[in-house]
Amino acid sequence: MLAALALHLCAGLGIVKLELTQELRDRFLPDDPAVASLEREEELFGVGETVVVLVESPTELDARALPRQLRTWSRELAALQGVNGVTTLLDLPTIAWDSPSSWRITTLADSDHPVEAAYRHPIARTSFLRRDRRGALLVLSLDVGADTRAGAQATVMGELEKWIEARPEPYTFTPAGSLPFQMAAIDVAHRDVAVIVAPLATLVLVILSLSFRSFRCAAVIVAVSALNISGTFGLAGLLGWQISHFSLVVAAVILTVGLLDGIHLTYGYCRLRRQDLSADAAIASAMWEVFPPCLWTSLTTMAGFCALQWSSLPQIRQFGALAAVGTAWALLSSFTILPFLLNRFDPRGSLGLVSGVSRLTRLHRPRSVLAITLVALALTAPGLAGLDIRADFPRLFGDRHPITEKLERIEEDWGGIAAVSFLLRLREPHRLGDPEVIERLTDFARLLGQRELVTSVTSPVELLAVGANSFRGAFGRNPTAEEMRAVIEGLRSADLPPAQAKALGTWIHREQELLRVVARVRMMQPERFPAFVRDLHGFEDGLDDLFEVRLTGWPLVYKNMERALLGEILQSFVLAFSAVGVLLLLAVRSLRLWLIALVPNLIPLWLVLGALGLSGAGFSSGLLLAPGVALGLVVDDTIHFVLALRDELSSGSGLDDAISRTLERSGVPLSITSAMLVAGFGALLLSAFRGNQILAVVMIAVAVVAWLADLVLLPVLLGVLERRGTRQ
């Protein structure tokens, strides 16, 4: 015991070496072409780590005062630690014509009336101004290194929040974009740990205290489970793992799973002590009786979690690895540390509220149980067959969560600020000035802007439109094709001043001869986004004859990640089913028993997923963990029941008597462990993440149905099928 305790404590000390991953993008798909294109876009066009600040006013912006205010805000924001520069509508490029054959690149800041010019400027009008003229945005470019990205970004966001708090009315300042969204999600993940684990520990203490009528007994079990959490994360620290912020919620899962073996051992000890066995004899007999099924159930639970190692998403693999390690720690601590504590504190209370479980589970008729089961399966079969895969990004939070409300408000007022980009390189560079190419790009931008979720499109062609308007205003006619060709050729070769080159470089990379077309899109309607992505790829194919096209943007990165997750659901379940099925067969050592035992483990998933399909809720990426993990957990009760039944049969009891004795022996601990699963996953309902909430509902339903299946349906199946097999 002392050696095991020392091992746990040494592993727990590794927590001081535990590091949270510093690279936010570590949680995206490693081989996603959209990520590679995004990095390419950031490198070539200088649009890397950015934060958008929405400046809003209760009334229409003051056109005379706004340029001065923008310059002041830009200067103050550029002075913040980690900010490399600030871009406003004043920095947008435009073409000024001195004569029909003489032009130059300037910025809106050089205009006599910059704001009025911005309302006519297509890029400023669609990307830098609120649609009702009551807001403008500023783009902050961050100067952070890859090694300190997350820490530096957190620092920048903190400095930005302080700067915003110091701004007087009437303007309001709102940080937006992918980075604030990610950082807000990380903050929520941290709060989730405190919000979930503390109430869960309290609830578990209450349930165990009522079950065993001993607070001391409950405290001992929970304390050992807490050691599993420290040991798991400590071991991760000793191994040099970098833990994702979103893997911290696994602490609640480890706490719950770590209780199960301890409950079986404690119940066995208390039952034997009431039979007048000494403490030493009771603990020895309980360990001899409980260890084999606990070993098998730990292996099946680990198999369910290990099936997640085939996910393409790093944090999913990490979640599965941590949970599997926590399960192994739980087995070790339950049979090394807990026996000593039980012997030391000697809890011998009665079993309180659940003492009559074994009698309640036998108040049924076999034919009624089978009939009800068949009817339930038939009713939910259409829902299971019609269960559809449903996208849910970016609705990661509940509908009433402040982040969701903020995103919906931005989408309503600004048309959304999520963007997808087309990076275009002409296959024949010498044709860049051809009117045909210009016309093709113009048509492409116009058609893209007509897509249902697109609110605006900005393109280098828009710069030419600004030039054409200015040309028409100055000379009373549109520029000729030759004059426009001269402009394009000049854009490729002109030696521009740094400010103008930077302004132009956001849209045109002259050395690489790349054009950047950006579409602003709505994202708060996730059910419509997959079809929109197919449209985008259709545009990509339609431009293929003229351009080499690379499609990118944060919405596509997230959508590709979600599509990969949804595609892995069936794979993870098949892997978990294969591993758990083999372990179950090895545990029961009987093909007949194995086939019977599979039924109460597949029925809960059938019924719950079928009900989910009938409700129309759909199967989202938030449920990726559910099928495989649920199977690995619910099979635990079956193993305990079947192995206990086999022990009773080996002692010479008849089948009916053996089933009755097994219910008396296993009904109570299986009920307590099922209550622990309900409490553990029920605590996830407190999470702010929609995926955790959906997972909680499904896992609670599966745990309840599995409890009924193991204590009501399984005895009926064993009584009917085993008796028939014996007669044959």
**What's the rounded mean pLDDT across residues 530-539?**
84
Lookup result for tokens 């943007």: 553
Is residue 49's pLDDT more than 90?
no
CA distance linking residue 234 with residue 13, whole number of Å? 6
The pLDDT score that the predictor gives to residue 728 is: 38
Q: Give the H or E element holding residue 548.
A: strand 547-552
Q: What is the DSSP letter of 625?
A: T
Our CA dihedral for 416, 420, 426, 430, rounded to 10 degrees, sits at 30
Alpha helices in 346-434 (DSSP H): 357-360, 366-385, 402-414
Is residue 59's pLDDT more than 80?
yes
Where does the chain hold its CATH 1.20.1640.10 domain(s)? 2-16+183-385+559-727
CA distance linking residue 390 with residue 616, whole number of Å? 10
Interval 624-665: pLDDT, tens: 777 888 888 888 889 988 888 888 888 777 777 888 888 878
Interval 244-287: pLDDT, tens: 777 778 888 888 988 999 999 988 888 888 887 888 888 889 89
Interval 141-158: pLDDT, tens: 887 554 445 567 778 888
Give percent above pLDDT 90 in the chain: 10
Interval 458-490: pLDDT, tens: 887 776 666 656 677 777 777 776 777 777 767
Q: What is the DSSP letter of 722?
A: I
Interval 406-451: pLDDT, tens: 888 888 888 877 888 898 888 877 666 677 777 788 888 888 888 8
The DSSP code sequence of 509-545 is ETTTTEEEEEEEE--S-GGGHHHHHHHHHHHHHHTTT
Q: Pick the residue with more confidence: 352 or 617?
A: 617
Strand 172-176 relative to strand 242-243: parallel, antiparallel, unpaired? unpaired
How many helices (H) and strands (E) the chain has is answered by: 27, 13
Give the three-state DSSP class for 104: strand
Highest mean pLDDT of the ranges 84-93, 568-577, 625-634: 84-93
Is residue 354's pLDDT more than 70?
no
Residue of 280, 291, 276, 227 whose CA lies nearest to 254: 227
The chain-wide mean pLDDT, for the chain, equals 81
What are 119's two structure tokens? 């309302």
Interval 210-226: pLDDT, tens: 888 888 888 889 988 88
Residue of 75, 72, 77 whose CA lies nearest to 53: 77
The DSSP code sequence of 593-624 is HHHHHHHHHHHHHHHHHHHHHHHT--B-GGGT
**What's the rounded mean pLDDT across residues 508-512?**
73
The pLDDT score that the predictor gives to residue 5 is: 62
Sign of torsion, CA 700 703 709 712? negative
The pLDDT score that the predictor gives to residue 557 is: 79
The pLDDT score that the predictor gives to residue 30 is: 64
The DSSP code sequence of 264-324 is HHHHHHHHHHTTT--HHHHHHHHHHHHHHHHHHHHHHHHHHHHGGGG-SSHHHHHHHHHHH
The pLDDT score that the predictor gives to residue 20 is: 63
Is residue 726's pLDDT more than 50?
no
Q: Which amino acid is at 297?
A: T
Domain at 2-16+183-385+559-727: CATH code: 1.20.1640.10
Interval 151-210: pLDDT, tens: 677 788 888 999 999 888 788 999 988 778 878 888 888 888 888 988 999 999 999 888
How far is the CA of 11 from the CAs of 235, 328, 428, in angstroms? 5, 13, 62
Q: Are 422 and 429 in contact (CB under 8 A)?
A: no
**What's the rounded mean pLDDT across residues 689-701?**
86
The pLDDT score that the predictor gives to residue 146 is: 43
**Residue 363: burial class (beta carbons within 10 Å; 0-12, 13-18, 19+):** exposed
Q: Are 568 and 624 in contact (CB under 8 A)?
A: yes
**Residue 291: burial class (beta carbons within 10 Å; 0-12, 13-18, 19+):** middle
Sign of torsion, CA 22 27 32 35? negative
CA distance linking residue 487 with residue 508, whole number of Å? 13
| Beta bridge pairs of residue 54 | 137, 174
The pLDDT score that the predictor gives to residue 300 is: 92
